[in-house]
């Protein structure tokens, strides 16, 4: 037993005292050395906590550039936030709940249009000071404005729960054109800058494509079985929409080719209302579709070149 004890002591001495400091080039060893300083090394870090810019529900957000986000909500505020530092750069206060915001950037004139629940639209400059009056107030809708999109430097479009879509002159604050479609309760609007077309979703379960020059519907896709909640263009000819639903009934994402209204493909996976989606680029060549839902899930969808998801 004495010999066995001496042998164990000898082995321990060799392992602890005479271990070669020369790297073995083992990739695991390389990673292990750096895990000691990694933020994810077995520790859960608290997220950055800063004073809230809103005191009620946030309805919509718009990314104006990397690290800078505009948000609006039920408190009637629009807040410009630096997402890297958490600093609130500026706050604008309106008299009504704000449903959507549309960011504008033409010839370095950064501004936004706030779509109010009371039917008014308000144009503000980002460079303005606290307490400044808005550049313009646009009145004409009789119910809440739920869609707003800039079509060029002088004009923008809006859609409302009053079933109307309007084209506005930014400088004169006057409505240039107005189209009302029965039961067209607008839920969202988005611009295809390549083709100068505007897509619009509705509570009547329809998806429409508008020509903003004459404010006419140029394409109406086959009506779906569920309310269409949101829409987003990808490239020149591809349009994504999402719908409400419950327990896998509805809750789908639909991919359209705007050149062929009868061709579309559906993707399912969510269990509740799919309320919003966005196209994101994670690498130089990889583009994905991100969707969020009332089922408390965020899903990442791979987009294929042939249009399949």
Per-residue pLDDT reduced to its tens digit, 68-126: 999 999 999 999 999 888 899 899 999 999 999 999 988 778 899 999 999 999 999 98
Q: Is 187 helix (H, G, I), strand (E, B) or coil?
A: strand
Dist. CA 115–CA 124, nearest whole Å:
12
Superfamily of domain 181-308: YVTN repeat-like/Quinoprotein amine dehydrogenase (2.130.10.10)
Dist. CA 241–CA 223, nearest whole Å:
12
pLDDT at 132: 83
Alpha carbons within 13 A on the beta-carbon side of 37: 4
Distance from chain centroid for Cα 235: 16
pLDDT at 303: 77
Q: What is the pLDDT of residues 142-156, one digit of tens each?
A: 999 999 999 999 999
* Exposure class string for 252-280: b at 16+ Cβ within 10 A, else e: bbbbbebeeeeebeebebbbbbbbbbebe
Percent of the residues in the chain that have a pLDDT greater than 90, as a whole number: 59
Dist. CA 163–CA 182, nearest whole Å:
6
pLDDT above 80 for 5: no
Dist. CA 142–CA 178, nearest whole Å:
13
Domain boundaries, the chain: 55-156, 181-308
Measured CA angle at 178 (ends 175, 180), to 5 deg: 145
Q: What is the pLDDT of residues 283-298, one digit of tens each?
A: 777 888 999 999 889 9
Percent of the residues in the chain that have a pLDDT greater than 70, as a whole number: 83
| CATH class of the domain at 55-156 | mainly beta
pLDDT at 37: 43
Dist. CA 183–CA 206, nearest whole Å:
10
φ, ψ of residue 27 to 5 degrees: the values are -60, -30
| DSSP assignment string, 75-122 | TSEEEEEETTT--EEEEEE-SS-EEEEEEEEETTEEEEEEEETTS-EE
């Amino acid at each position: 037993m004495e010999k066995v004890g001496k042998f164990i002591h000898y082995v321990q001495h060799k392992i602890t005292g005479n271990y070669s400091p020369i790297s073995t080039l083992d990739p695991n060893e390389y990673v292990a050395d750096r895990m000691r300083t990694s933020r994810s090394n077995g520790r859960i870090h608290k997220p950055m906590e800063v004073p809230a810019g809103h005191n009620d529900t946030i309805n919509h957000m718009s990314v104006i550039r990397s690290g800078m986000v505009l948000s609006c909500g039920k408190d009637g505020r629009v807040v410009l936030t630096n997402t890297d530092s958490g600093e609130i750069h500026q706050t604008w206060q309106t008299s009504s709940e704000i449903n959507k915001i549309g960011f504008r950037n033409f010839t370095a004139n950064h501004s936004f249009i706030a779509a109010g629940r009371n039917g008014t639209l308000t144009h503000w400059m980002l460079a303005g000071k606290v307490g400044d009056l808005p550049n313009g107030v646009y009145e004409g809708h009789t119910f809440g404005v739920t869609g707003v999109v800039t079509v060029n430097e002088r004009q923008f479009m809006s859609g409302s729960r009053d079933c109307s879509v309007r084209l506005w002159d930014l400088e004169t604050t006057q409505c240039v054109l107005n189209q009302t479609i029965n039961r067209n309760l607008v839920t969202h609007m988005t611009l295809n800058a390549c083709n100068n077309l505007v897509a619009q979703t509705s509570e009547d379960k329809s998806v429409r494509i508008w020509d903003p020059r004459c404010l006419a519907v140029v394409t109406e896709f086959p009506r779906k079985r569920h309310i269409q909640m949101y829409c987003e263009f990808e490239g020149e000819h591809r349009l994504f929409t999402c719908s409400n639903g419950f327990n896998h009934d509805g809750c789908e994402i639909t991919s359209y080719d705007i050149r062929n209204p009868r061709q579309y493909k559906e993707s399912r996976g969510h269990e509740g209302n799919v309320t919003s989606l966005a196209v994101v680029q994670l690498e130089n060549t990889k583009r994905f579709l991100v969707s969020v839902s009332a089922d408390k899930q965020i899903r990442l969808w791979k987009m294929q070149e042939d249009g399949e998801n």
